[in-house]
Structure 1
Amino acid sequence: MPDTPLPAPPAGLLDGASLFLDFDGTLVELAERPDAVAVDDGLRALMRRLAQRLDGRVAIVSGRPAGQVQALFGDDGMTVVGSHGMEFRWHDGRVRVADRPEGLAQALAAMHALADRTPGMLVEDKPLGAALHFRMAPGAEADAQALATELAARHNLHLQPGKMMVEVRAAGGDKGAAIRTLMSEPELASTRPLFMGDDHTDEPGFEAAAALGGAGILIGAPRPTNAIYRLNDVQATLAWLEAACGSAA
C-alpha cells in the first residue's frame, strides 16, 4: 500500500466500467446511529442516472444488511451486496444469503450486557453478524474491542473492525470476494470494475478491483490504501458521480 498522495479519479473513468459503491461514508455521511441514516430523492435520482449511464452495471456493496439498504432506496431495482459480501440481492430478483452462524445469539447477549452498563453504546443485530457501536461512547472502545475479540474466538466468528464500531459475523466473505462474484456476471465480465469506499473494510474491494483491471477510489483523508484515486468526502463523491453521469464518451 503506497503512502503517496493519490489523484482524483479522471473524467471519463466510468467509460467501459462497472461501478460498485460502499454506502456509509461514501454515498451518505456517517451517523451516530445506524438507523439515523436516510436516503434523499437526490441520491435516488443519481443512482438511477448512474444505472442508465452504465446499462445497469451498478451495485452497492455494504457492511449493512442487503435488505436494509434496499429499503432505504425503495423499489429501485438495483443490485445490493450486504453483510460484507455474504448477502447478494440482484436486480433481477435472485437472492443468495449465507447461513446465520449458530453462535450469534450468545454473542448478541454478551454485547447487550456490555451495552446495558455502558451509556451511549449501541448493539446492532444483523442477519449474519452482531456489532457494537461506540461512536457515542468513545471511551469504551477498548472494552468493545476486547469483548468482540473474545466472542469471535469463542464462537468461530470473523472479527470485523470498522469506524467507531466492531463486529463479529459469519466467516468466509469480504468485499473483494463480492466484487469478484459480481464481475462473473455475463454482462459485467468484459468491463473494468471501479469500487468506491471509505473504510478499511473496503480495502479487499480495492485490491480485487485492481486485480481485475479496474481501480479503487478511496473516500476520505489520505492513508495507506490499495486504492489508486481519492476523493475528499461524501460531497466530493456525489459531485464526481454527478459529473461522470454527463461525461459519456
Structure 2
Amino acid sequence: MASPTSLPSPPGLADLLGQGPVSLFVDFDGTLVGIAPTPDAITVPTDLNLRLHSLRDRLAGRLALVSGRSLDDLQSHLGTLEIARAGSHGASRFRADGSRLGQAPRGLPDDAVAELRSFAETHGLLYEQKSHGGALHFRSRPESSEAAIDHAKAVALRHGLELTSGKSVAELVRPGANKGAALEAFMGIEPFSGSTPVFIGDDVTDEHGMAAAIEFSGFGIAVGERPSKAARYHLEDVAAVHNWLDL
C-alpha cells in the first residue's frame, strides 16, 4: 500500500488532454470541499457550481461527480447540476441531461435501520439515513470508532449488506453500491466511452473507483494523507485539487 508521500504529483491536466480525451470522476467531501465535523457543516465556495460547469465544458462533457452523499443532498450544497453525477456511493446515477442511468438504489431493511439507530442513540453517535443505506458517524466520539465498526459489521452480516468504512464513519449499503460500478456504467456511454478515466478521491470508499479506472487504462489520484492501494498519483489537499483542475 503506497503512502501519499511516496506517490508523485500527477501530470498537468492540460498535458493529459493534449494526449487524447480524458474523463474525470471526482469525489466531493475531502476532495472538492473540506471535511467537516458533520455532513451539513461543510463550506462550499459560492461559485463552485459555475466552475464545475466550466470544467465540464472544457472536457466536452466528460466530467462526473461521484459522491457518498445522496444526489439530493449533493445538489442542496451545489445547486442545480447539469453534470453527470453518481450519488449514494455510486448507486444512483444520472447523465448530465438529468436522465437516470441504471436502476434507483434501495434503502436498508427496516430492521437494520432500527439496529443502527439504537446503537447511535446508546453511544451518543450520529446516525444518518440515506436513500441507499445508513451511516454511523463517530467523528465527535473517536473512542467509539472500534465499537461502531464492529456493530456495523454485525448488522451487515445479519442482513446481507456491505460495509463501507470511511473517515470517522461506518456506512452500510446494498451489495454492488460502490464508486467503481458507477465509473464502469459511465464509461459505457457517451461522451465517456473511449476516453482515459481519472478518478480523484480522498477516502477508502474511492479505492473502488480508482481500481475501475485502471481497468479502463486510466488511473487514480489520492488526496490527503490516507495510504492508497490503487492510486498512481497524489495531491496534498482540497486546494491542490482545485489548482490541478484549474477551478
Q: Counterpart in 2 of 1:26?
A: 31
Q: Distance in 2 between matches of 1:158 and 1:200?
A: 14
Question: Quick check: 1:194–1:215 contact (8 Å CA) kept in 2?
Answer: yes
RMSD value, Cα:
1.8
Question: Quick check: 2:31–2:200 contact (8 Å CA) kept in 1?
Answer: yes
TM-score, length basis structure 2: 0.91
Q: Counterpart in 1 of 2:10?
A: 9
Note the 1:38-77 alignment, pairs <5 A.
38-77=43-82
Q: Counterpart in 2 of 1:100?
A: 106
Aligned residues: 241
Note the 1:1-249 alignment, pairs <5 A.
1-2=1-2, 5-11=6-12, 12-15=14-17, 16-95=21-100, 96-101=102-107, 103=109, 105-119=110-124, 121-221=125-225, 223-242=227-246
Could you tell me how far 1:76 is from its partner in structure 2? 2.9
Q: Distance in 2 between matches of 1:137 and 1:13?
A: 44
Could you tell me how far 1:14 is from its partner in structure 2? 4.5
Could you tell me how far 1:216 is from its partner in structure 2? 0.6
Question: Quick check: 2:108–2:132 contact (8 Å CA) kept in 1?
Answer: no
1:71–1:79: structure 2 CA closer, same or farther, 3 Å change rule? farther
1:13–1:110: structure 2 CA closer, same or farther, 3 Å change rule? farther
Residue identity over aligned pairs, in percent, reads 39
Q: What letter corresponds to residue 106 of structure 2 in structure 1?
A: R
1:38–1:90: structure 2 CA closer, same or farther, 3 Å change rule? farther
1:111–1:45: structure 2 CA closer, same or farther, 3 Å change rule? same
Question: Quick check: 1:66–1:89 contact (8 Å CA) kept in 2?
Answer: no
SS of corresponding position for 1:217: strand
Question: Quick check: 1:69–1:80 contact (8 Å CA) kept in 2?
Answer: no
Could you tell me how far 1:102 is from its partner in structure 2? 5.5
SS of corresponding position for 1:19: strand
Could you tell me how far 1:2 is from its partner in structure 2? 4.7
Q: Distance in 1 between matches of 2:98 and 2:107?
A: 24
Could you tell me how far 1:29 is from its partner in structure 2? 0.6
TM-score, length basis structure 1: 0.90
Q: Which runs of 4+ in 1 moved over 3 A?
A: 1-4, 96-99
Structure 2, unaligned runs of 5 or more? none
